[in-house]
Structure 1
Amino acid sequence: MTYWFASSNRDNWEIIRQKNIWGVPKRNKSIIERVKPGDKIVVYVAQQKKEVTEGKGDEILPSAVAGAFEIVSEGYEDSAPLFVTPERMGDEVFPYRVKLKPIKIFREPVEFKPLIPELSFIKNKTMWTGHIRVAMREIPEEDYQLILGRGE
């Protein structure tokens, strides 16, 4: 069994949570080919600015892990629009997908920055964003368990 760390945004997190599907960009086909049913995946959502009512400024939603899933299908290709494409990614539809079964959806997402000192897959603790820029990456079981244990 392999443990995965998947990077997303809050819009796509809602789609993942509702549809139980994870998708990666065309350039990441080789990663999805390594994923197998029974693997586990945690979904990270990037920091995001949330506009609030006039005069109150913007609220910053911190980077966080929102939930954990079991992968229940082989990877497959589906180009039907499903995910919200970030502006910088053009017409990407995240066509390489797997079906998921929820293990734990965190009531409150687990803030990511406080986890960094304890996560072994993050080698550079000060320049940590480089470790999570890819759509998904393999992580040690210990890191998966640590994240899972912090979620409510």
Structure 2
Amino acid sequence: MCITNEENWNVVKDKKVWGVSEMYKNTIAKVEKGDMLLIYEMGITGKEPKPQYIRGLYEVTSDVNRDGKKIFGTHPNRPNETYPLRVKLKEIEVFKSPILFKPLVGDLEFIKNKKQWSGSLRRAMVPLSEKDFNTIRNGK
């Protein structure tokens, strides 16, 4: 599962590419062609809180490539970040009604602390078990 903000979700949707910073090179190195990626949009934009959603499902169609061209939005603490480690994607489905994430937390195995669950998502990517993937994908 890929964790992003609203601005970069739009980049993923428009350009069919996912990128991470160097600090996540070991995580993205495990991604292979054919893997399925769910896109999670964080719920905070500026000062207006909004719900967290799963926005879409994509298939990885390339090996990890390095590209420093700036296409993603700026990280608040790292203004020069370009998320250069990237994979190309094929859209499987952009959900017309995004999947609300919070109601799923109690059923997700990768989230150990159900009260402070957002801590489990403070990284660029989260590997999911098949069970968690299906729980999210099915929205229940």
Structures share a fold, TM > 0.5? yes
Q: Is the 8 A contact 2:3 2:123 kept in 1?
A: yes
Task: Determine the structure 2 residue equivalent to 1:107.
Answer: 96
Q: Is the 8 A contact 2:100 2:139 kept in 1?
A: no
| Residue 118 of structure 1 pairs with residue 118 of structure 2 | no
Q: Equivalent residue of 2:126, what SS?
A: strand
Task: Determine the structure 2 residue equivalent to 1:36.
Answer: 32
Aligned partners of 1:49 and 1:30: how far apart in 2? Answer: 28
Aligned partners of 2:124 and 2:45: how far apart in 1? Answer: 21
Please tell me the root mean square deviation across aligned C-alpha atoms, in Å: 1.6
**TM-score between both structures, scaled by the size of structure 2:** 0.93
Equivalent residue runs for 1:1-150 within 5 Å: 5-49=1-45, 60-150=49-139
Aligned partners of 1:137 and 1:104: how far apart in 2? Answer: 19
Aligned partners of 2:46 and 2:80: how far apart in 1? Answer: 24
Any gaps of 5 or more consecutive residues in structure 2? Answer: none
Which consecutive aligned stretches of 4+ in structure 1 deviate over 6 angstroms post-superposition? Answer: none
Q: Is the 8 A contact 1:117 1:125 kept in 2?
A: yes
1:110 alignment partner AA: I
What is the identity percentage for the equivalent residue pairs of Structure 1 and Structure 2?
34
Q: Is the 8 A contact 1:64 1:109 kept in 2?
A: yes
| Structure with the higher strand share, 1 or 2 | 1
Deviation at 1:12, TM superposition (A): 0.3
